[in-house]
Chains A and B, each alone.
Chain A
């Protein structure tokens, strides 16, 4: 939670990683990204009580305690926004803009996990992953009806998460770790003004607020417990703390000429010149994951998760310009804590496995906060996975199809006074490759 640390060791890797981590259209509730391993993804992300590969660093660090060999796992996710649309309604922006779309780019989010046994019952693990991300980029940004609110909103994170696990008994393991989070944010939008000659709204400037990755970070921690009272049944619990990141960034105002020299001159005189210092704080929420898993006859395994995220910590967005002549942006968000319920199924034939899952996430975002910056929604997700797990290596592949409920602000109270219906569908393909010694 300190600023401007001189710690530099992970930055080269993380900067490279973040080069790919542009957005997360397949995010679970809010802007968290819970899909951090192909095996877990295939099982509906119900992995807290499974945690039997190195991605346990993320899902439940106690799971490392039952892993007795060095393993390293590299992988990633390909995130695709299948559909991201907005259809406006009266009173603003009205129907004239038709159906407007978000960019449908596919993004790659790499992951890396490793576990190293230190003693017979103490393991060290490390993970590098992106647990949060947001990418709401509107395709035709200069014509988008919500361009005065947001054209492009981005939150990127990259965590380095070293953990230690201790198998305190043959059936019980504990884990604890430190979570170092680098993050950057970006917000772009146009500024509106009334053209006095036409008495109508025109675009007079483009505002781009950005923060650099290396200057903005925070610390947190995670912990977990995994108990296997009988070989065929396990219970798991994990906790990841909140992390506060204070971003120092800059804002740049670029004038959009209207063609009226007198008006443009007046606008130019009122625009902040040069780069403007800006500060933003985001409280990334704490989360608790509870899970159970059972091995059934015929090599079936069923896992269940109930995950709680303390989203009420994200109760406002405050963009603070150092220049007092520039109005700050204070936006009450008033998010609510949310629950997600996940179920996974795995069937094994020797080293081969087929997986399926389902989960249901409740959005923490109230309708009043839904807007072009982020229109989160309740969603249902269906997952499938394949895997081959041998002693020395393994490979997993999975797919998550996420069907978001519509979010409709028509007839509702909305902070942005921006009304219409948001529709979104996304797909996530995850894969990883493991080597063990």
Chain B
């Protein structure tokens, strides 16, 4: 009897130890595959390199599941060159006495290109829209930014190992028991980053989105498979849209300039109820994107009385049939349109997810909660502030490694809640306390035209390359007359 009791105690102890270890988690899910856009790939600071990929939420979830053979297209990180050979990675740099944004490294090449099977992380940057996860079966490098990156991640270019296979096809070929799908962000994000909100150009129509999201999700659904889906965050709430106030600020203090005790509005091209002759002060509720930084440095948007040119900041627009002129202003009606579209698309994501039994993570609500109250953990307060908030990376759009760790935690918690599993939550402290800097010897590159918030014309180009419009539409930056180039990474 004593021997049996001892044996039972030992067994209980072993089970307890196993339950507390990632090893035990392997029994929960054996194969995890992720499909989606740059938020799945792990992009930070306008680029995707191994440093980011190993800290993406997808990789962190795989780690917690105890999956050792989790394969990604690992992109090397290179020191800066002149000219650049890859997409620049942005970070905080010092310009004079000011902390601003500049290039700190650049993307290199895929170090895992020889893998004979599809990658487990099939997320790719280059602004893929929802349709691209089922329709893009043959990538054509040079055709679009999306094609360029899909050729690296999906390797479905002509003659490639997976020619003819979409992201959904490749995911299914791996026979996963857990799939993460975060897609649809670029169906509204392009409108926010280009500051042009036009249905069918920078915003995907709801009906078209619904059809393609259904196709993607039903294409991934399989018996015994768990799927985790995400809503689209409020793209009007990201630092790229919220950092620069619509009023004139003192570049040294970044505090509003007061005239007669009142702030002075930046100038835009639209008339308002109190201004019938443009340029007019921006109405309350207008968002000024980080792209305005270099223009403000030139005095554009600033009244002559305050030392500016008196010229309006560009509002942007679309010239049919195929020319997009990005702006830096989102007037309240445009903000409302983007936000309503986001809400509408999220409603579709929710209903389609429910119909297919997917576990939905409400990233939209999480972002909004953080925007209002911040995120508290261990006595540390994280916010959505640009550069100093901790949750967003230096491009003002993508999460930081901290933000991704929080998303990984959300996924694990959602899985545990839905499945009754005991998967250990990820180590957010590691993301919080570990410096996220290039491991190569590199010096920050400061573009003096970047303005008070460090967003130079070249950075704007890069961002628009990442979040560009529909294929076949040309982008012309204000004043440059130049089309936004597509950087090819092979």
Contacts and interface: CB of A to CB of B under 8 A. Distances in A.
B99 A92 contact: no
B180 interface: no
Interface stretch (A44-52, A126-134, A142-150, A172-180): A142-150
A201 B430 CA distance: 10
B426 interface: yes
Contacts, number: 102
A200 to B, nearest CB: 5
Contacts of B91: 197, 199
A410 to B, nearest CB: 9
Interface string A344-375: 00000000000000000000000000000000
A325 to B, nearest CB: 13
A220 interface: no
B390 A94 contact: no
A266 interface: yes
A92 B436 contact: no
Contacts of A94: 427-430
Interface string B414-445: 00000000001111111011111100000000
Interface string A136-172: 0000000001111110000000000000000000000
Given A196-B387, A199-B390, A200-B436, A416 B378 contact: yes
B379 interface: yes
A186 interface: no
A96 interface: yes
A93 B92 CA distance: 26
Contacts of B388: 193-194, 196
Contacts of B401: 199
Interface in B379-396: 379-382, 387-390, 393-394
A198 B437 contact: yes
Interface in A248-269: 262-263, 265-266
Kindly name the residue among A94, A95, A201 whose own CB sees the greatest number of chain B CB atoms within 10 A: A201
A12 B428 CA distance: 49
A149 B378 contact: yes
B376 A262 contact: no
A189 interface: yes
Contacts of B381: 192
A262 B93 CA distance: 10
A177 B405 CA distance: 57
A370 to B, nearest CB: 14
Contacts of A193: 388
B266 interface: no
Contact of A148 (B379, B405, B435): B379
A92 B390 contact: no
A94 B429 CA distance: 6
Given A199-B435, A263-B99, A266-B99, A93 B376 contact: no
B390 A194 contact: yes
Given A90-B425, A94-B427, A148 B389 contact: no
A91 B426 CA distance: 5
Contacts of B433: 200-201
B429 A93 contact: yes
Contact of B378 (A93, A95, A96, A194): A93
Interface residues of B, number: 38
A268 to B, nearest CB: 13
A278 to B, nearest CB: 17
A92 B437 contact: no
A90 B389 contact: no
A327 to B, nearest CB: 9
B92 A192 contact: no
Interface residues of A, number: 32
Main secondary structure of the interface of A (DSSP, over half): loop
B300 to A, nearest CB: 26
A334 interface: no
B402 interface: yes
A92 B94 contact: no
Given A90-B428, A91-B426, A91-B428, A198 B377 contact: no
A314 B424 CA distance: 33
Contact of B435 (A96, A198, A263): A198
Given A199-B390, A417-B376, A418-B379, A92 B428 contact: yes
Given A91-B426, A93-B429, A417 B378 contact: yes
B94 A262 contact: yes
A276 B388 CA distance: 25
Contacts of A90: 424-429
Contacts of A149: 378-379
B97 interface: yes
B241 interface: no
B409 interface: yes
Given A200-B435, A201-B380, A145 B429 contact: yes
A143 to B, nearest CB: 11
Interface string B91-121: 1111001110000000000000000000000
Given A91-B409, A94-B427, A196 B378 contact: no
A198 B433 CA distance: 10
A199 B393 contact: yes
Interface string A85-99: 000101111111000
A192 B430 CA distance: 15
Given A91-B429, A145-B378, A262 B436 contact: no
Interface in A370-399: none
B400 interface: yes
Given A197-B91, A262-B99, A148 B378 contact: yes
Contacts of B428: 90-92, 94
Nearest to A192: B380
B379 A91 contact: no
Given A145-B378, A200-B432, A201-B432, 4 more contacts: A91-B426, A91-B429, A93-B429, A196-B387
7 contacts: A93-B378, A94-B428, A149-B379, A199-B91, A199-B400, A262-B97, A265-B97
Interface of A: 88, 90-96, 145-150, 189, 192-201, 262-263, 265-266, 416-418
Nearest first, the 5 closest Cβ-Cβ pairs linking A and B are A148-B379, A198-B435, A196-B92, A149-B379, A94-B427
